Amino acid sequence: MGAYSDRTVDHRGLVKLLLEADYHWCLSERDNPIYHPLGEPIARHWVRKGMSPLGHGGGKWVEECLWTSYQPVLDSEAMSDIKGSKLLEALYQQIEDAKSAIRAITLAQRGFDPGTGSTTKVASGKSSAPKRKGPEWSKAKRKAHSVKMKALWAKRKKGKT
């Protein structure tokens, strides 16, 4: 079974067939005026558009509708499954939102400017931002500071044990 389209299925013919059927039927499809003769859907829920497993991996969220020729009996267990699927849908949406935020933060850290669509880095790969202002330490001063800090850390560590 694969995806189908208006080129492979005669949707108007399908609606006519369902309206004239003398058996129970159920149709799950996105809302479209073609299906309005079937009446109001008995249920609506949000799903990922596409054929990927478990709704992962792309595609926008679309509202899926369920039409039937009968009134199904819904027990409490079935209703809990429906609520669970809404929870999963909400969690998947939160994951997508978090991924978008991570991408935006990562691009911002790399100097990406959404206004211009480019980064502020120059060809050498170094940032074009001004260098840090302040005194430059000599190699001897950095070494002396390193020795001083190591002694301080050792003293603190010794005091904790």
CA dist 101 and 15 (Å) reads 43
Among 3-7, 19-23, 91-95, 136-140, where is mean pLDDT lowest? 3-7
In a domain, 64, yes or no: yes
CA distance 67 to 26: 6
Per-residue pLDDT at 69? 87
Q: Is pLDDT above 50 for 1?
A: no
- The widest CA-to-CA distance across the chain, in whole angstroms, is 94
Is residue 144 a part of any domain in this protein? no
**pTM (2 d.p.):** 0.41
At residue 92, the pLDDT reads 79
130 in a domain, yes or no? no
- The tens digit of pLDDT for each residue in 22-37 reads 888 888 888 889 999 9
Q: Which residue has the tokens 């809302």?
A: 31
Mean pLDDT of 74-96: 68
For residue 24, being part of any structural domain is answered with yes
Partners of 64 in the β-ladder: 30, 45
User: What would the mean pLDDT of 11-26 be, rounded to a whole number?
Assistant: 89
Is 57 domain-assigned? yes
Q: Which domain holds residue 78?
A: 11-97
Q: Nearest Cα to 39, choosing from 82, 71, 5, 8? A: 71
Q: Report the chain's mean pLDDT, rounded to a whole number.
A: 76
Distance CA 95, CA 88 (A): 10
For 74-98, the DSSP string reads --HHHHHHHHHHHHHHHHHHHHHHH
Residue 37 in domain: yes
Return the top range by mean pLDDT from 13-17, 60-64, 156-160.
13-17
In-domain check, residue 115 = no
Number of domains in the chain: 1
In-domain check, residue 85 = yes
